[in-house]
Amino acid sequence: MTTQVKVDGDFADVDHWTLEHTFPATMESAALTFPSLWLDRIKHEGRAGGTASVPDVTTAGTRYANRTDHNVSAGVAVTNKYRLHRLTLAAQCAGIAGLVIDGGVRDVDSIVEMGFPAFCRAVSIKGTTKNRPGVVGAPISCGGTPVHPGDVIIGDRDGVVVIPGDRLTAAIDAGIERERKEDGMRAALESGMLTLDLLGLR
């Protein structure tokens, strides 16, 4: 499928979309294996001023019963249909390591299943509006913290930290020193010393 625009009386290609489909069997019974049309992959290629491809978007489905009035003994079999189970994020396919957002996310189970790190303020079932393209490579503020191109973002279950690119080596050295001190304190506690004494709080 190709979209075009008319330029000086001639049509020029803008985008090309390839929709790949499969016909998975619904396996409704031993005698019924009617295939179901399933959109398996979407390929997008830009053709304005050259050719550029973006990562494919793939889908996966789960087979569910589609009717509630089935009665096998009466000869009315269940009608199985596929439902969208997982959407492979184009961002993940492009090599993006994770998401940090000063807002909410949804579809948490799918995000966890995909192994895609997402750090957010909340979980929200509400749909989102997608009417602005955004920018890439520009300074931003996230949660009141300035973030610039070249900064290093590190996150785990405890939270997210932003390290300016020109301070990365110093941050690594400070982290190693902190680990050394923590190891020493852990060894002292295991030997029977008290935290009050280690911290000089008496």
Ordered by start, the domain boundaries in the chain are: 1-93, 97-147, 164-202
User: Who's near 28: CB < 8 A, 6+ residues apart?
Assistant: 34, 77, 78, 79, 80
User: Who's near 62: CB < 8 A, 6+ residues apart?
Assistant: 82, 83, 85
pLDDT at 88: 47
pLDDT at 21: 84
Q: CA distances (Å), 182 to each of 28, 177, 198, in order?
A: 60, 9, 11
- pTM for the structure as a whole: 0.50
pLDDT, tens digit only, all 202 positions of the chain: 898 888 888 888 888 889 888 877 766 554 555 667 777 888 888 887 778 877 777 776 666 555 445 555 655 555 556 555 555 455 666 667 788 888 888 778 777 877 778 898 888 777 666 667 677 788 999 888 999 999 999 998 899 999 998 999 999 999 999 999 999 999 999 999 998 888 888 8
Q: What DSSP state is assigned to residue 77?
A: -
User: Which amino acid is it at 129?
Assistant: T
pLDDT at 76: 55
